[in-house]
Structure 1
Amino acid sequence: MTTHDDLDDDQADELLRAISHRARRRILLLADRDAIAAGELSEALGLANATTSEHLKVLRKCGLVTLQRDGTWRRYRTDRARLRTLERWLGGVVGSLGDHPAQEQR
């Protein structure tokens, strides 16, 4: 198991799977501007509430969005620090690609 900047392979895999879905990437963009309610996300994405809820569950599980409670409202916000961790991990992977002898033989 390799690690790059606080992520092990399993954590990186989970984050990459989470952002592999277009709707989840759109949620990250919408929730980055300001904390947003699930219903507002559903409307903006044109998805059923249950579908949006499942996407939010995946994003919350891996820490890409946080939940903010405001009275009876639940609002979601993109965790930029977690995204930066993934960005650094990817940079480490890309940066190490030329360091492997198998790559140089091709």
Structure 2
Amino acid sequence: MDAVRAVAEPRRREILRLVWDAELSAGEIAERFDVTFGAVSQHLKVLRDSGLVTLRREGKKRFYRADHEALGPLADYLRSMWSAKLDTLAELAEAAEQEGRDHSEGASP
């Protein structure tokens, strides 16, 4: 599977985000999802076969990290997508905070 098709799946994009700057074990990745370990393992296999993550074995554990170089131009796209989502989240949080202040200012003592 090519890299673009691999990252088209939302869970695989989320896995990439998790291992973007930090190496995580398969178990640490799996515990962040509401699907089986087997399902996460399949996503990791697709990412690994596409060359988007590196695998390091230590005993029985497997550790994954995003391979920024292999992602090529996709790396910039993913960074901008995640940045835009964070900007949107920050705007929503600020709006909710302002709304809370507006309601408390209008409340009678």
More strand by share: 1
Specify which structure has the bigger relative contact order, considering alpha-carbon pairs within 8 angstroms and separated by 6 or more residues. Answer: 1
TM over 0.5: yes
Displacement, 1:72?
2.5
* Cross-structure match for 1:47: 35
Distance in 2 between residues matched to 1:66 and 1:21, nearest whole Å = 19
Q: Encode CA deviations 1:18-44: one digit per residue, 9 max, x unaligned.
A: 000000000001011211111111111
Residues 73 and 87 of structure 1: is their aligned pair in 2 closer, same or farther, counting only changes over 3 Å? Answer: closer
Distance in 2 between residues matched to 1:46 and 1:40, nearest whole Å = 13
Residues 62 and 45 of structure 1: is their aligned pair in 2 closer, same or farther, counting only changes over 3 Å? Answer: same
**Count of residues in correspondence between the two structures:** 76
- What is the TM-score normalised by the length of structure 1? 0.65
TM alignment of 1:57-72, pairs within 5 A: 57-72=45-60
* Cross-structure match for 1:56: 44
- What is the TM-score normalised by the length of structure 2? 0.63
Where structure 1 has 5 or more consecutive residues not aligned to the other structure, the ranges are 1-12, 89-106
Q: Please, which of 6, 15, 32 is the counterpart of residue 27 of structure 1?
A: 15
The alignment yields a C-alpha RMSD, in angstroms, of 1.8
